[in-house]
Copies of this chain bind each other. A is one copy, B any other.
Amino acid sequence: MMATKHKINIAVIGAGRIGKIHCENLASVLTGAELTAIADINLEAAQESAARCNVSTAVPDYHELLADPDIEAVVICSPTDTHAQIIQEAAAAGKHIFCEKPIDHELNMVDQALEAVEQAGVKLMVGFNRRFDPNFQKVHNMVAEGNIGEPHILHIISRDPAPPPMEYLEVSGGIFFDMTIHDFDMARYLMGSEVSEIYAAGAVKVDPKIGAIGDLDTVIITLRFANGAIGTIDNSRKAVYGYDQRVEVFGSEGMVTAYNPVSDTHIYSNQEGIHSALPLNFFLERYATSYMLEMREFIECLQNNTPPPVSGMDGRIPIVMGLAAKKSYQENRPVQLNEVDGSNSK
């Protein structure tokens, strides 16, 4: 029956690490779309991806793609500081948009982009891929279906195997915008309730260089939800045992958690103890399925003309949460979201 669906012509803008993943999924796994063009200011990168994916068009300037009437949708994988601009241009050109997160670190830039999308009447989906991880999705579904009764407490553990390079950290916007932003989205996704207040405690424990640029590498965030529930987010830039991504939702009728998928299922017993494999270590490996599934859902919402599963507002709110977390840490006090959001949206 998928065969009877219209095949969506899609172009990818940005052929870096994440752009390549989307290109490969669009070219070889997802049958609902046709990957027709790739743009990157580094033309060679665009051409390389095009060659791998049997795509005929590779260009250095994405405006060429926006001008192509056959292209129905674009996947924006360019650097963060170009997202808001490209969203506006793509919307004006009538293209549907899948944009990697975050939309922007500045709230007014986000709002301009969302405004453009609304005016153009195109669809915008923001790439919070972890929502499509089968493990977290299962937790979400069990909470949403009432298996744990009313949710009371949420815990998110989200630790990287190692910090990114300092050059990256210097322009990342800080841990709240670069790392916690995923967990802010996950918190809303799992609890089905908005966060109203945030308290952020932080430390520099992994690398003093991170502190030297005014950033943190170890944070614990307390969330208060509109429905009265409470939650925590735990971030560290370095877990020596690998990529540690767990969630737990506790409620009146039970608890549901998701632990880390492992690289293999062996268990070794010797005189010292019982030993098993480490978690999948790299985000591209850990979240490979989620990247494929989010793109499939984007294609399906275009085919079926349904709302995208992650909206522009879903992209905006974690930015507000990041601003609140930053202010909370700076002033060492709980901060309400409406303190940092003039528009008081939602």
Contacts and interface: CB of A to CB of B under 8 A. Distances in A.
Interface residues of A, number: 70
A236 to B, nearest CB: 6
Number of copies: 4
Interface string A255-298: 11111111111111111111111100000000000000000000
B255 A239 contact: yes
B201 A134 contact: no
A54 B222 CA distance: 52
Interface in A214-230: 218-220, 222, 224, 228-230
A216 to B, nearest CB: 10
A221 B203 CA distance: 17
A169 interface: no
Interface string A122-164: 0000000000001101110010000110101101000100000
A168 B26 CA distance: 37
A256 B241 CA distance: 11
Interface string A81-97: 00000000000000000
Contact of A220 (B232, B265, B275): B232
A121 interface: no
A274 B271 contact: no
A232 to B, nearest CB: 5
Contacts of A232: 220, 222, 232, 234
A334 interface: yes
Contacts of A134: 263-264
Given A138-B277, A273-B276, A332-B334, 16 more contacts: A137-B264, A138-B266, A147-B270, A153-B220, A201-B230, A220-B232, A232-B234, A234-B250, A239-B255, A240-B252, A241-B254, A257-B269, A258-B265, A259-B267, A261-B265, A333-B333
20 contacts: A134-B264, A147-B268, A152-B236, A155-B155, A155-B234, A199-B334, A205-B252, A220-B222, A220-B230, A220-B232, A236-B250, A241-B254, A253-B271, A255-B269, A258-B267, A260-B265, A274-B275, A274-B278, A333-B333, A333-B334
Interface of A: 27-28, 54, 134-135, 137-139, 142, 147-148, 150, 152-153, 155, 159, 199, 201-203, 205-206, 218-220, 222, 224, 228-232, 234, 236, 238-241, 244, 250, 252-278, 332-334
